[in-house]
Amino acid sequence: MIKIFHLTFILLSISSFVGRIILSETHPAILKQKALKIAPHVIDTLLLVSGITLVFQGGWLATEYGWIIAKIIALLGYIGLGVVAMHNRGTVRWAAFVGAMACFVYIGIVAVTKNAFFFF
């Protein structure tokens, strides 16, 4: 059941991020609404809590956990690049957006393969 919640929050999180990037380009005034400022933080918090719950529930800390560390590092990259994308315009915004999406894809692949170096 936790896995379904986690997957739902993943979809909500990425949809929220892409939607906010689109809104920041087309209708930036809408992003000043209180709900649109708070909702992404609530979604991402629930995503993180469900992910931590899955780690403990699956007993993954008892085995090789390098892939979890890789996901955490990529998550920090995703967050950092997301902040850059939301606070800049033009080429910087879109380069940060592409980088954030690459981090997101990497996190997904590592989650499925349980291998941080799947590309080797």
The model's pLDDT over 18-31, given as tens digits with 9 standing for 90+, comes to 999 999 999 999 99
Same domain, 45 and 81: no
Same domain, 3 and 54: yes
Same domain, 11 and 52: yes
Decide if 97 contacts 32 (C-beta within 8 A).
no
Same domain, 2 and 56: yes
Q: Which residue has the tokens 């992910």?
A: 51
Same domain, 96 and 57: no
* Enclosing domain of residue 54: 1-61
Looking at residue 30, what DSSP letter applies? G
Same domain, 29 and 77: no
Question: Over 80: is that where the pLDDT of 92 sits?
Answer: yes
Hey, what long-range contacts does 35-40 have (CB within 8 A, 24 or more apart)? 40/13, 40/16
What's the pTM? 0.88
> Cα 8 to the chain's mean position, in Å?
12
Same domain, 33 and 87: no
Domain count, the chain: 2
Q: What is the mean pLDDT of residues 31-59?
A: 91
Percent of the chain, pLDDT > 90?
A: 76
116 CB-near residues (< 8 Å, 6+ apart):
66, 67, 69, 70, 71, 110
Same domain, 56 and 79: no
